Every structure is written in C-alpha cells, then in structure tokens.
Chains A and B, each alone.
Chain A
C-alpha cells in the first residue's frame, strides 16, 4: 500500500499531448508509489494508452514531465505486440537480454513465468499459433519476466475468460506485494480495477475527472464515475 514517506516510483507532472493539433491529454498529473497499484479508467479514446506510452518513453509529451526512479519498466501492450517471427520463449528471452543471467537461470525464469500464466506447454509456439487470449498472456509474461520495478498494464485482462482473468489479477497483486513494484493498470474490466487497484483515477476529455478508492467508486456521487460505474447512457460523457 502507498506510503506517503516514500518517494514515488513514477510521477507524471502536467502532461499535455496533441495528435495532429487535436489535444488528447490536457494536463494530467499523478504519482504512483512502490507497492501501489493505480488504475486508470475512462471512456475509449480518452488517451489512456497514450499516457502509458508517454510514461515508458515511447512518446514524448508536448509539455509536462515524467519522473521515474528507474528505467526498469515493463509494459503490457493493449494489442500484445509480440514479435511475430519469434517463438514465445524467444520473445521472453528478448525481454531478458542484457540482464546477464546464465542460460539456466534465464530458462528457469521463463518457464516459471509462463507456467504462472498457464502457457508452460507453448514455449516453442509462434504468436500466430496462439489464440488471442494466449497472446495476451504471453505479452503479460514478457512484461513481467524480469521483475521490473514499474509495470504498466494496458488492458491486461481484456479478452480473457473469467478464470484466467482472476489468475492474471492474482499475479498482479502478488507482484505488487512481493516485489514492491509500482503498477499502473488501464482497464475496462470491473473485477480488475476493483481487485488490483489501491487508487483509481478516471479520465475524460484529456483530464482527470475523479480520483478515489475502489470502494468509493460505486457510491460516489461524482457524475462521471457514477455514469461509468453504473454503465448509464445519460451523463456528462455523452460526447465521448
């Protein structure tokens, strides 16, 4: 859980970003502490994936700043983004490149991680030979295989069956507890943000419109989170 005395593992300060003159993020700030999980929720297209890409350095913000305590950062891509011409094992090996592990340690780490996401039998399969959910889990395994200090999850449980979702959520909780990792999870899935998050921010039209605990989300009278959590058609997000 968050400890105010610590310095944040990652901090976004007043991030602005436009694409082709269209503002997507208009001043987003938050911080995440080691051992804490922040969930980012919000309507489709509001810039959630964009903020994750800015946090891990794939995109430059137009203004604002990202302060990280480490470059050791893992990202689970929304679209898996596995390397097509490499097997599951090779995809994970790439993530472990430059970690100076012995061959045996590397192999063990890969097997352990894949076993935890239920893919122990798919070591030598190519991404095209996997189902969508299996690709998603491989992508998850690839992001966490080297135990990064900061982990960004872009819809890690979307497209998974309920049992597998629970397994992935448990794994996320375990990583947070055992490794004291700082996590940010973008998700539409109710179980994921209620189970894994310590804190939630809700985005709309490029800004943070609500912040709170998972327990507060359902009962909050904030119009945005009310509409979102109760899946109402009427509300301030009509233009989303």
Chain B
C-alpha cells in the first residue's frame, strides 16, 4: 500500500498538468484514475479481512464516530433543511396546480428517503470528514508517522483505517436518517405555509406512500456512501508522498473522488431498485 512504486502523488498530476498536450493530460488522468480505484479496492479488501477476523479497535471506533458525528451534525442538518425547503416548495406548487395537494407529504418523503437523505448526508460527510481524513493520513505519511507504526509492527490499516471505516458505516446511516427527518420537518412547514396542508394530512400521506423497501434502499445507500467516503479518503491519504503542499492536493482529490463516486453509486442503486419494469 505504502511503497513508492504504487504511489499516485499529487506530484504526478501537477507536473503533467503543465504539459499543454490534451491527450497526455487525459492519459495521466485516466491512468491515475484506474490506479486510484485499484488502490481503494485493495484497501477495502484488507479492511474487510481485518473486520471479519474481529480485529476492530472499538474505543478508537467510538472516538471516530464522535468525530464524524460532531463534525457533520450541523452541516448535514442545515443542508437537509434548505434542500427540504426548496424541494417541498417546488413539489407543493406543482401538486397544488393538479389539485393533488394531499399527496405533498408522500412525494416529499419519497424524495427524501430514496434520494435526498442519503445524498445530502453523503456529500456533506465527504466534504467535512473525508477531506479531513485524507489530510490527516497524508500528513502522517509525509511526516513518517506511518513508517513509525510499521517499525513498531503496528498494521496501519488495522490501526487507522478499520476504526475510520467502521465509524463511517455506522455514522452514515445515522446521519442519513437525521437528514431525512430534518427534510421532513422542512416539508411539513412548507406544505402548511405554502399550500395550507396541516401536518396531520402531510404525515398521513407519508405513511401511505413509504414502503419498507424504501428504508432498505435508504440504508443500503448510506452504507455504500460510508464505504466510499472512508475508503477513498484513506486510500488517498496512504498513497500520497511528498511535501506539505501534497496535503492540500490530497484533500481536494479526496473530495472530488468521494463526491463523484457517491453520485455514481447513488444512481446505480436507484436504477437497480426503482427502474420501471
């Protein structure tokens, strides 16, 4: 994982990006993209093989859960609130036109449980937590802290990645559900304010529309997002070498990779579960 030959450092892209030849530029990006996915998959395999053997540092996992929760609570809440406001306003407007205003609650909650909740939590955790994991591990790489662990015969994957990964897959569903509820509160307020729908009617419609399957998909998406954020952030952190400027590059890389992957996999899951037959 951490030896020099399999490294994609910020350096590669930085040097190559000065070359004006667009083909070479694309090649560099494509090549490093394939490498990145490979590194993430290798790391994920190692992580799961440790988890399945019970090699989990629970106190550290709890500490990481606290960090993720603490860092994300406010931003996830705020983004979910305002996404909920905007979305409910649009939905209310259209449904009122069709005279279907009693269905507002159902449509809003469907959007929230199937798409908006997991995406909002995923993207905000990617920006807030993934980036800081990437920065932290990159710093540890370039200041030889990871080397020091290896000399002390401590496996960096077990010591650093497993607790972060565990925290990711535990906290992401929690934050997704939380985002969904905040969005629902926003929806109730908009439905009442803009379309005069009482909260009870709104919630009735929610109950009639949401199925058990929607919860399963919700948690599946959250689990995948947790996996994406922590795995890519850790893989980027542990494969970066160089100097202090590479910390910033790794942070950016981590945000771009995790967010892109979240949107891609969100669509994959949606298309596998909700495509009309």
Residues of A bordering B, CB below 8 Å: 19, 53, 56-60, 71, 73-75, 77, 79, 81-85, 94-95, 97-98, 142
Contact A94 B140 (CB under 8 A): no
CB of B35 to closest CB in A, whole Å: 17
Given A19-B4, A84-B139: A98 touches B153 (CB 8 Å cut-off):
yes
Chain A residues with Cβ below 8 Å from B150 are: 57-58
Q: How far is A26 from B221 in the complex, measured between Cα atoms in Å? A: 53
Does B154 sit within 8 A of A, measured CB to CB?
A: yes
Query: Is B4 a contact partner of A73 (Cβ separation < 8 A)?
Result: no
Give B125-156 as 1s and 0s: 1 = Cβ < 8 Å from A's Cβ atoms.
00000000000100110011101111111100
Contact of B145 among A58, A60, A83 (CB under 8 A): A83
Least Cβ distance of A199 to chain B in Å?
24
B21 interface residue (CB < 8 Å to A) = no
Which secondary structure characterizes the binding site on chain B? Answer: helix
Complex: A74 Cα to B153 Cα, angstroms: 10
Partner of A73 from B139, B140, B151 at Cβ < 8 Å: B151
CB-CB < 8 A to B147: which residues of A?
53, 58, 77, 81
Expressed in whole angstroms, the Cα–Cα distance for A74 and B148 within the complex equals 10
The docked-state distance in angstroms from the alpha carbon of A97 to that of B155 is: 12
Which of under 10, 10 to 19, 20 to 34, or 35 or more describes the interface residues of B? 10 to 19
Top 6 closest pairs, chain A to chain B, by CB: A81-B144, A81-B148, A75-B151, A95-B152, A58-B147, A83-B145
18 CB-based A-B contacts, threshold 8 Å: A71-B153, A73-B151, A74-B151, A79-B143, A79-B144, A81-B143, A81-B144, A81-B145, A82-B145, A83-B140, A83-B145, A83-B149, A84-B139, A84-B145, A85-B136, A94-B154, A95-B152, A97-B154
Rounded to whole Å, the gap between the CB of A158 and the closest CB of chain B is 15
Q: Which residues of B contact A (CB under 8 A)?
A: 3-4, 136, 139-140, 143-145, 147-154
Query: What chain B residues lie within 8 Å of A58 (beta carbons)?
Result: 147, 150-151
Q: Which residues of B contact A71 (CB under 8 A)?
A: 153
Closest to A86 in B: B145
- The residue among B3, B149, B152, B153 with the most chain A CB atoms within 10 A of its own CB is B152
Shortest CB-to-CB span from A82 to chain B, Å, is 7
Chain B residues with CB under 8 A of A81: 143-145, 147-148
- Nearest chain B residue, comparing its CB with the CB of A143: B151
A68 to B147, CA, bound (A): 19
Q: Which one, A60, A73, A75, contacts B3 given CB within 8 A?
A: A60
- Which chain B residue lies CB-closest to A97? B154
One of B3, B4, B143, B152 near A94 (C-beta < 8 A) = B152
Neighbouring A residues of B149 by C-beta, 8 Å: 83, 94
A147 to chain B, nearest CB (A): 14
Complex contact B145–A97 (CB within 8 A)? no
CB nearest to B151 among chain A residues: A75
A60 to B150, CA, bound (A): 14
> Given A53-B147, A58-B147, A77-B147, are A84 and B140 also a contact pair (CB < 8 Å)?
yes
| Interface core residue of A19, A53, A75 (most chain B CB under 10 Å) | A75
Residues of chain B contacted by A142 (CB below 8 angstroms): 148, 152
